[in-house]
Structure 1
Amino acid sequence: MRKITIIGAGGYVFPIRLTVDILSFPELRDSSLYLYDIDGERLARSKRLIDGIVERNNLPTRVEAGLDRREALRDANYVIVAFQVGGVEAYKWDVEIPRQYGVDQCVGDTLGPGGVFRGLRSIAVFEEIARDMHELCPDALMLQYANPMSINCWALNLMGIKVVGLCHSVQGTSKMLAHELGVPYEEVSFKCGGINHQAWFTEFKHKGVDVYPRLREVMFQKYPSPLEVDADTKLPQSRFAQRGLDHKAEDEVYYHERVRTEIMRTFGYFHTESSHHGSEYVPWFRKNPDIVNTYIPVRWDYYQISCSYQEESHQEYLRQLCEGPLHLSEEYGARIIHACETGEPVVIYGNVPNWGAPGTDPKHSRSHIISNLPHNCCVEVACLVDRNGVQPVAFGDLPPQCAAINRQSINVQELAVLAAMNRDRSLVYQAVAMDPLTGALLTLPQIRRMVDEMFEAEKQWLPQFA
């Protein structure tokens, strides 16, 4: 019986969603699920809900839960990770302290001061998990969902863990582009590669025909550049709608894509992260409130959303998950496990080392999946999955301008990983200083002072830097 361990199983919805995905495959229903979390009360709730799903569907699945991480990892075949070290309490300082210095992050979980500090907290825990995995389940495949995705996966690659990082931005953006073009999603094909939250659609086709020229025309008309319209012309506004894990392209969602369209206008290609979130990875869109309002008039502040999160608002969705028919979401995790177990191939988009397959030694490979990105970085590309595991597909060169933007982010990621693994505070200053948005706004003395304030506020989660 294969063992699937979920670390961070006390989450309100996501672990339940992943479990339903797994159980939607008949071939995986005889699995052993082991739920682990540091919060016993939330863990007990998740186990109760999952037990109910298993009983209601009369499944042979074995479900266990516990607060002992080593027991959770012992003999695991798959380790799913979805946690946020420090929770909202730590996240507050990731966002609020930089904002006091004028660095207005939209989410602050991937790059920038917030992403760097979230990475420092996460990597410290991943080091403990990696030590346990090498001892207790050395052949297990980790399915990693925690942000900052690239920073975490880069560190795990250096720790020798066989890991693939998973996100749904490629799926979500490709569906959105099909929606904008008015074509069925099932009829499109594309090529996408880069880094997490900043991968580039270098090809987009409908029934085998290149529709990128049409896509540019549609998006440029819908989202004109502020410099290309008269002062009295009202730019198209949008109603923000939060997309759930199961959103469909045909849903009535008003996509607000001025930032990504402006990037495409200059650099030629569309990337995978939303305009709100993606605006904080580059130096051009969040320099002052006027610029923010020009490109992103509907504010999307993920920290405030997290603070005002009401579990009751998800009750109906959760009820449908627990009581409705078993069905598969757009998340890749269960598909990967199914392909590895059955040999039925599937193509997913995963975050993997640029030197090759997860778990391989970089010293034994000088090849690059993406030729013009650094050998040791973490890239997001198409991967074939079957009984042989996760096998990245060689991408070749990105358009040079796209690679240049990626390398700005990769510089930050590399320094953050080195800082975390070497407990080197000077590297933290350097990582934050290299962030494109922070560097566009602050002087080096201001950056050092901001980082010091963040260390002081977050010292309970970062004792290794004391």
Structure 2
Amino acid sequence: MVKIAFIGAGSHTFTRTLVRDVLSFPTLQDSTLSLMDIDADRLERIETATRTLVDGNDLPATVEATTDRREALEGADYVITMIHVGGTEPVRNEIEIPRRYGVEQSVGDTLGPGGVFRATRTIPTMLDIARDMEELCPDAPLLQHTNPMAMVCWALEAETEIDVYGICHSIVGTAHAIASYVDVPFEELEYWVAGINHMAWFLDIGHEGRDLYPDLEEAMTDPEIYARDVVRFETMDHFGRFITESSHHLSEYLPYFRHEQAEIDRLVDASAYDPDREAFEYSPVCWLPTGEYFDQWSEIDHADQFDPGEVDTSLERSGEYAARIVHSLETGESRRMNLNVPNDGRLITNLPDDAIVEVPCHVDATGVHPCSVGDLPPQLAALNRTNVNVQSLAVDAALERDEDALRRAVKLDPLAGAVCTLEEIDGMVDDLLKANAEYLPEFA
């Protein structure tokens, strides 16, 4: 029997997915599932949903729920984090204030002004969690889902002794997309991927030993397929490899696509075959002009909207990695998956030694074993470094509460630098610091 602590379990839909994944493995069905969140109402709802899933399948799992983080972590064998610090207000500020300066982020949770400020308010809490783990469950691996992924993992690796593995579903999601573009069953797609989180590269794509890049390049000439992934196809056309993050998300990590409204309009128009074309301009997971997203976020999982009788009690496994990692470590079943781990100067040899890289890892009973990739093609490493530069300074800002590092991180951001003068970026940072002073008291 293992104890798995879910920190930030009030992330209702995501927690249910991860719990279902754990319980889908017969050898993990007697696990203790310790659910923790600071929001008692959300915690009560996810506890009810989890118990419904367990009871509906007559499983021996034990379900615990607590608002006390230390209680959840005590004796845990695995810790899964999916926290969000600050609610809707700072997210709104981190999108809307940069917009006034022409920085049109689509999500703002990974890079850019939004990602830098999210890191600065999230990393202190994540460090508190890791330090509690050092005391209460020092041997437990931390399976980390919180964005900005690379910055959070970088800070934890720098400051704590906990083994941290950053988990993201973008590679699996992209593999599904590629398989559909080249008309190959997903299960038969062969791929080798490396880079950084949200900017990792499909270095090789194959099927039964045959290189599929010519097929993907041919698929790009189909207007309907091209329209489904405009930015990724254009990036592949110019730099030679397909990338792991969705087109609207990728567009904010590079200086080429969101620097003026005319270019955004061109890309939106090019996505005319996509029924979700408006998502390119402003992602519905981040910001909507009328504010519906924030209203929905504030009201999501409201008590009078939750019906335990409607909980899906199936044990169908998702594509997420966390439960597979637990299962491999517990049973020895070998799996390969891409995880975010320290580069240590040996995994991707033309990226900085201390960067967090997303590389193939073998997982079995002996642990997690990252694979050495060697040099990336130079143009791909160069694009990665533009993002790593921002990450490095943002981590310094968060750890040292260093305002100069904070400002320099935003000034090095590719999108902000494409549309703002240095003085304008200082003004934007001033506005963000003022608006988010409650969440960044050390900078007030």
TM-score (norm 1): 0.88
Deviations 1:245-279 (A, max 9, x none): xxxxxxxxx96211111111111111000110000
Tell me: CA distance 1:447–1:336, structure 2 relative to 1, closer, same or farther (3 Å).
same
Partner of 2:39: 39
Partner of 1:269: 241
Matched, 1:69 2:69: yes
> How do 1:116-135 and structure 2 match up within 5 A?
116-135=116-135
The 2-side partners of 1:82 and 1:410 are apart by 22
Partner of 1:395: 373
Contact 1:20 1:321 survives alignment (8 Å): no
Which one of 294, 309, 328 corresponds to residue 307 of structure 1?
294
Partner of 1:16: 16
Tell me: CA distance 1:147–1:306, structure 2 relative to 1, closer, same or farther (3 Å).
farther
The 2-side partners of 1:419 and 1:312 are apart by 34
The amino acid across from 1:207 in the alignment is E
The 1-side partners of 2:310 and 2:78 are apart by 22
Partner of 2:313: 324
Matched, 1:384 2:368: no
Contact 1:19 1:50 survives alignment (8 Å): yes
Q: Shift of the alpha carbon at 1:311?
A: 4.2
Partner of 2:185: 184
The 2-side partners of 1:59 and 1:331 are apart by 21
Q: Shift of the alpha carbon at 1:74?
A: 1.1
Deviates more, 1:206-215 or 1:32-41: 206-215
Partner of 2:440: 462
SS of alignment partner, residue 164 of structure 1: strand
The 2-side partners of 1:320 and 1:212 are apart by 47
The 1-side partners of 2:189 and 2:48 are apart by 41
Tell me: CA distance 1:21–1:216, structure 2 relative to 1, closer, same or farther (3 Å).
same
The amino acid across from 1:423 in the alignment is R
SS of alignment partner, residue 199 of structure 1: strand
Q: Shift of the alpha carbon at 1:320?
A: 9.8
Partner of 2:330: 341
Q: Where do 5+ consecutive residues of structure 1 fail to align?
A: 224-235, 239-253, 356-366
Contact 1:103 1:441 survives alignment (8 Å): yes
SS of alignment partner, residue 12 of structure 2: coil
Q: Shift of the alpha carbon at 1:27?
A: 0.5
Deviations 1:37-57 (A, max 9, x none): 010011011101111111111
Contact 1:350 1:382 survives alignment (8 Å): yes
SS of alignment partner, residue 278 of structure 2: coil
Q: Shift of the alpha carbon at 1:389?
A: 1.7
Contact 2:394 2:405 survives alignment (8 Å): yes
> How do 1:419-430 and structure 2 match up within 5 A?
419-430=397-408
> How do 1:344-355 and structure 2 match up within 5 A?
344-355=333-344
The 2-side partners of 1:323 and 1:277 are apart by 30
> How do 1:195-206 and structure 2 match up within 5 A?
195-206=196-207
The 2-side partners of 1:178 and 1:413 are apart by 31
Q: Shift of the alpha carbon at 1:222?
A: 2.7
The 1-side partners of 2:442 and 2:293 are apart by 27
Please, what is the CA RMSD of the aligned residues? 2.0
Deviates more, 1:83-92 or 1:330-339: 83-92
Partner of 1:283: 255
SS of alignment partner, residue 200 of structure 2: strand
